[in-house]
Structure formats: structure tokens, C-alpha cells
Amino acid sequence: PVVVERPKPKEPAHIWAKKELKKLEDEKIWQQGDGKAYYTRLTEILRLYVEYQFGWYAMEATTAEIESDLEKYNVKMDAAEKLLSVLQQADLVKFAKLLPPPDENMKNMERAYAFVELTTPRETTQKQQKDV
């Protein structure tokens, strides 16, 4: 299939993702009883973040494809586990109509933030380079 590149946000991917996650949190969608919309938006943010951060078209990939490709993009195990946990939970909500308890919805938002944080590029200062 042909993949059309989406326009990237003007700000760095991690800043964009954190802002979008905060917006989603503030909308309180799952608290209003719409778990499917919440997880759809949550996974959309994470998939677009992966695309913007790594140049990897995750919007078009299944959770299983993402899982098998994570190693190619040098995503560390703890970050990968957080991403996959959210995506797998979202699949259950969206396709199997699972209704997770409120604490699980909050944990998935925390996992999303943690994934972004763990995959944010670390800038090295001249001092750090001298220490190496």
C-alpha cells in the first residue's frame, strides 16, 4: 500500500505528544463513558508520535506489526513494554468491547507519557561529550 507522509508538527515530536496527551486527559472522555473514543485517540497520539519521532508509519501498522518492528528502531525494552501494553489494551477496548476499570485507564495514560519520555532524544552537552 502507498503511504502518504503526513505533515509533521512544527515542534519536536515529544513536545507535540505531551501536549496532545494532556488535551486528551483534560477532555475526560473515558470518565464520560466513551472508552472506545478515549483509546482510539490515545493510540492515535502514540502512533503519530512514533511516526514523527522515528519516521515509522505506525498509523498503518497493526499492534503485532509494531511489536515485531520495535527492535529495528532501537526502542528499549521498558519503553516497548509500555507502548505495547497501551496498544494491546486499546485493541481489546476497540475490537472486543472490553470496559477496563478506571485505574487501568489512568495507568495507560501514565504508560503513554512514560513511553514518550523514555524515547525522547537526549541532547548531549559539550561537557558530557568531554566526559566520554
Q: What is the DSSP string of 50-99?
A: HHHHH---GGGS-HHHHHHHGGGGT--HHHHHHHHHHHHHHHHHHHH---
pTM comes to 0.86
What pLDDT, on the 0 to 100 scale, is given for residue 4?
63
Handedness of CA 60, 63, 103, 49 (dihedral sign): negative
What pLDDT, on the 0 to 100 scale, is given for residue 132?
43
What pLDDT, on the 0 to 100 scale, is given for residue 121?
87
Question: Which residues of the chain, if any, have pLDDT below 50?
Answer: 124-132
What pLDDT, on the 0 to 100 scale, is given for residue 3?
59
Q: Do the beta carbons of residue 115 and residue 79 sit within 8 Å?
A: yes
Cα–Cα distance for residue pair 1/3, rounded to 1 Å: 6
What pLDDT, on the 0 to 100 scale, is given for residue 130?
45
Look at residue 84 and give its three-state secondary structure: helix
